[in-house]
């Protein structure tokens, strides 16, 4: 019997594709890091919703069709993507490499 690989309910995007999504202004950005990490720098226009906060009440923060989620490296944000899918969002993106890769590519950060 051949096992079929399950498809993730979100799309993994690298920093370059994330920058395209950011420049289009067509989707919300959610930073799932902690407040101390946020203060060190965040992607312009993003909202801070720490992962634990999102897990406690996702419907309070997740509206519309979709969002781009990011964290430091893309692991916490992958969990957030799963939560977003569970509450019905359909256009969900995980920024692979997180803000670390975003900064390494020279893309804008606010402090």
- Please compute the mean of the pLDDT values over residues 77-106 and round it to a whole number: 97
pLDDT band at 4 (very low <50, low <70, confident <90, very high): low
In a domain, 110, yes or no: no
In a domain, 6, yes or no: no
pLDDT of amino acid 63: 87
Residue 43 falls within a domain, yes or no? Answer: yes
**For position 1, what pLDDT does the model report?**
53
pLDDT digits (tens, 9 = 90+) for 44-71: 999 999 999 999 999 999 988 889 999 9
| Cα-to-chain-centroid distance, residue 58 | 14
Q: Examine the pLDDT at 76 and tell me if it is beyond 60.
A: yes
In a domain, 65, yes or no: yes
CA angle at 23 for the pair 20 and 27, rounded to the nearest 5°: 90
CB distance 46 to 29 below 8 Å = yes
The answer to whether residue 4 sits within a structural domain is: no
Host domain of residue 99: 11-104
Query: What mean pLDDT, rounded, does the chain reach?
Result: 94
Tell me the three state secondary structure of residue 57: coil
- The CATH number of whichever domain residue 56 belongs to comes to 3.40.250.10
What's the domain count of the chain? 1
């Amino acid at each position: 019997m051949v096992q079929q690989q399950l498809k993730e309910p979100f799309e993994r995007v690298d920093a370059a594709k994330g920058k395209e999504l950011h420049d289009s202004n067509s989707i919300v950005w959610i930073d799932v890091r902690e407040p101390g990490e946020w203060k060190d720098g965040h992607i312009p226009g993003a909202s801070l919703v720490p992962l634990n906060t999102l897990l406690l009440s996702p419907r309070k923060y997740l509206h519309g069709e979709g969002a781009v989620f990011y964290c430091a490296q893309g692991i916490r944000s992958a969990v957030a993507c799963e939560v977003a899918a569970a509450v019905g969002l359909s256009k969900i993106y995980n920024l692979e490499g997180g803000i670390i890769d975003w900064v390494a590519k020279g893309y804008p950060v606010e402090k």
